[in-house]
Amino acid sequence: MGRNQLNLTLPAFGAPQIRLLEKLSNAQAVSGDEGEVRKIVLENIRPNVDEARIDALGNVLAIKRGSANTRVKVMIAAHMDEVGLMLTSEEDKEEGYYRFEVIGGIDPRVLAGKRVKFAHQDKFGVIGSKPIHLTSADERKNLLGIDSLRIDCASANNKIKVGERATFATEFMRTGDQLRGKALDDRLGVAILIELLKHPFPHLDILAAFTVQEEVGLRGAQVAAYALDPQVALVLDCTPAYDLPLEVEDPDHPIENARYNTKLRKGPAIYLADRETLSDPRWIAHLVQTAETMHIPYQFRQPGGGGTDAGSIHLQRSGIPSISVSTPARYIHTPAAIASFTDWKNTFHLVYSALNRLNADVFNQER
C-alpha cells in the first residue's frame, strides 16, 4: 500500500507543540511530585477526551473513545516524572548547606558546579566544590561524590527544608533543529501523547496514561495498566543517543562506536528488546510497515539494557502485548539533554500513522 492508498494526511507539528514542550520541560516533576506536569497535562487534554481522572498514585488516566462499533483498546503511556534531587539533611541552617540524594539514575559526576532550582518556589541553590587553587592535582583525580557535595542555598531560608525536591536549573531552548532541556526525558513523550489525543481515531479507544514514578522503577505504569485494562499498549519514551566518537588510541586503526543505542537525527527509535521487555513482534512489524509506507525515517534502538513503562505494563493482568517508541536524546539524566525536533516530529507522525492503521487483525495473528 503506497502513501496515496493509505490516504492519510499527517497533522501539522511545529511551533505550538514546541511551546508546549518548553512549558513541560521547564516544569518541575521529580518522581513522587509530578503535580506541575499533571496540571499542564489536564489543562491540555480535558477538551479532547471523554474522561480524565487522577488515580491513587497520581497517574493521569484519560479515555478517548472511538465512534466505530468494534474498537481496539490501545493504552498509550508516557511518564510525567523526571530525575532530580532531594534534600535529606540540614548541615548548617545559617549558611544554608544541605546534604542531598539523587532520585533516578544521575551520574554523580554531573553534579558539581551546577545550579539547582527548588520545586514550587523561585529559589535556587548551587552545588559547588573547593576552588581549583586549593586542590592538588592528585586530589582532582578523586570523584566528587554525593557524600562530599552539598546543595548550598547561601543563607538561612525557612521555606527550604529537608524533603524538598530540586532539579537542575536549565531553561528549555530551541535553536534550529536542536531541542535542549533538563527534562526532555520524557516530556517529549508527554507532549506527543497530549497531541495524539487531539485527533480522532474512530476504530480505537485510546487509553492514555500519563504515568508517575517511572524513574524509580516503572511504578505508576503498573497500576495504570491494571486500571485501563487495554488489549495492547504502546509506550512513548525518550532513549539515550550514545552516538559520540569513540576514543581512538591508534588513529591508523579507528574503530567504530558500535554501542550507540540510538543516533540523533536518524528517526524515532523502535524497541526490539530492553532489560524489562521483549517487544511484541506484531507491534514491531506494524510500526515498521507504517514507517515504510509513510516514508517516515525510523531506527531500531539497539537491543540491550534500559527499560520503559512497557516493562511493568506487559506483565499486567493476563498479559498485554507492548512496545515502546522513543525519541532519541543525548545526555538524558544530566543538566541538559539534546534532542532533534525532526526526530520528535517523526515520532509523533509514526505513532499517529500507526494508530490510524491499527485494527484487531494486527493482533489476531499469532505472535
Partner 1 sequence: MNTSEINSILKQLTSVPALSGYESRLHETLNTLWKPYLDEISISRVGSYHALRLGQASQPRPRLLLTAHMDTIGLMVSGIQDGFLRLTEIGGIDARLLPGQLVTVHGKQLIPAVIVQPPPFLLPKEYQSNPVPLQYLWADCGLSAEKVNQQIHIGDIVTFDQPFIELDNDLVSSPGLDNRASLTAITVCIQELAQRQPLWDSWFVASVQEEETQVGALTSAFQIQPNLAIVVDVTFANGPGSPPHKTFPLGKGITLGWGATVHPYLYQSFKDLADQLEIPYKPEPMPRRSGTDADSLQTVAHGIPTMVIGIPLRYMHSAVEIISLKDIQRTARLLTEFIARLEVDYLDKIKWDETN
CB of 78 to partner 1, least distance (A): 22
Question: Is 94 annotated in the active site?
Answer: no
Q: Name the residue nearer to partner 1 (CB basis): 65 or 115.
A: 115
> Is residue 346 a contact residue for partner 1 (CB under 8 A)?
no
Q: How far is CA 59 from CA 44, 78, 199, 268, in A?
A: 15, 10, 22, 25
- Pairing relation of β-strands 299-300 and 114-118? unpaired
The span of 26-34, 39-47, 72-80, 140-148 binding partner 1 (CB under 8 A) equals: 140-148
> Is residue 146 a contact residue for partner 1 (CB under 8 A)?
no
Query: How many residues of this chain interact with partner 1, rule: CB under 8 A?
Result: 61
> Is residue 299 a contact residue for partner 1 (CB under 8 A)?
no
List the beta bridge partners of residue 89: 99
Q: Name the residue nearer to partner 1 (CB basis): 240 or 321.
A: 240
> Is residue 89 a contact residue for partner 1 (CB under 8 A)?
no
To the nearest 10°, report the CA torsion of 250, 256, 262, 268.
Answer: 140
Query: Which residues from 312-341 bind partner 1, rule CB under 8 A?
Result: 330-331, 334-336, 338, 340
Q: Name the residue nearer to partner 1 (CB basis): 19 or 130.
A: 130
Q: Which of 180, 219, 282, 314 binds partner 1 (CB under 8 A)?
A: 180
Best CA proximity match to 153, nearest among 108, 120, 116, 101: 116
Three cell numbers written together for 267: 528517526
> Is residue 134 a contact residue for partner 1 (CB under 8 A)?
yes
Q: Name the residue nearer to partner 1 (CB basis): 202 or 304.
A: 304
Strands (E), the chain: 51-54, 60-64, 72-79, 84-92, 97-103, 114-118, 124-127, 151-152, 165-168, 173-175, 178-181, 204-211, 232-240, 269-270, 299-300, 322-330, 337-340
CB of 250 to partner 1, least distance (A): 13
Catalytic positions, written as ranges? 214
